[in-house]
Amino acid sequence: MKNQKPSYLNFDSEKYFWKPDIDYRKHPEKYKVGKGEQGVLICEPYKSEIGKYWRFKDPDVAGESSAKIFELFNEYLDQNDFVGADMARKYLQMGFTRARRYFNYKSGTKYDAENNYKPLQRGTGDPEKEKSADIFFLKWKEAEANPQYAQMKKNWKENFG
């Protein structure tokens, strides 16, 4: 395991692309695709529309949650709303990564803040979260494989970044 401190300790909100005071439905041109899940907990109104369904407590909850978020993903595609579709895809990805984190670490925390951010021991988490992660993983990959989404993403990156 790497012996480095978490990147969030040096987070600079001024340099972060996504801003909480922007309505990304009214100003979609300000949205950046970014890496992975970046911006997912900031971009409104999508954060409020999608986030209320995001849950991974156990496989049943994860199944309902991922199905609803995938439904929203498809609705955004039907509306030709790339930002909404990309945000829904990010929530599916985040369902996978967060559930995996709680599978790997009981507290969901990777570092010990009281011990100079030393990495905590893996394998102490909830085995049910692995099943939840698998459910989200399948929906996330299904979203990414959608040809309409893939084309919209390619076009968006060419035009807006």
Structure-block tokens of residue 124: 């102490």
Q: How many CA atoms lie within 13 A of 86 on its CB side?
A: 27
**Cβ-Cβ contacts under 8 Å for 159 (sequence gap 6 or more):** none
- 8 A C-beta contact, residue 24 and residue 46: yes
Rg value, the chain, Cα: 17
**pLDDT surpasses 90 at 17:** no
What pairs with residue 114 in β-bridges?
none
Q: How many helices (H) and strands (E) does the chain have?
A: 5, 2
| pLDDT per residue as tens digits for the range 91-145 | 999 999 999 998 988 877 778 778 878 877 777 778 899 999 999 999 999 999 9
Task: Look over the chain and give the mean of its residue pLDDT values, rounded to a whole number.
Answer: 90
**pLDDT surpasses 80 at 149:** yes
Cα 12 to the chain's mean position, in Å?
20
What is the pLDDT, as a whole number, of residue 116?
Answer: 79
**pLDDT surpasses 60 at 2:** no
What pairs with residue 118 in β-bridges?
112
Range list of β-strands (E), 85-146: 111-112, 118-119
What value does the mean pLDDT take over residues 48-57?
A: 97
Residue 119 in 3-state DSSP? Answer: strand
In the chain, what percentage of residues exceed pLDDT 90?
A: 64
What is the pLDDT, as a whole number, of residue 122?
Answer: 76
Higher pLDDT, 49 or 35: 49
Structure-block tokens of residue 74: 């498809």
In the chain, what percentage of residues exceed pLDDT 70?
A: 91
Structure-block tokens of residue 16: 């972060």
| Poorest-pLDDT segment among 3-17, 24-38, 88-102, 133-147 | 3-17
pLDDT band per the 50, 70, 90 thresholds, residue 11: low
Domain boundaries, the chain: 17-107+117-159
What is the pLDDT, as a whole number, of residue 1?
Answer: 47
What is the pLDDT, as a whole number, of residue 36?
Answer: 86
- 8 A C-beta contact, residue 92 and residue 140: yes
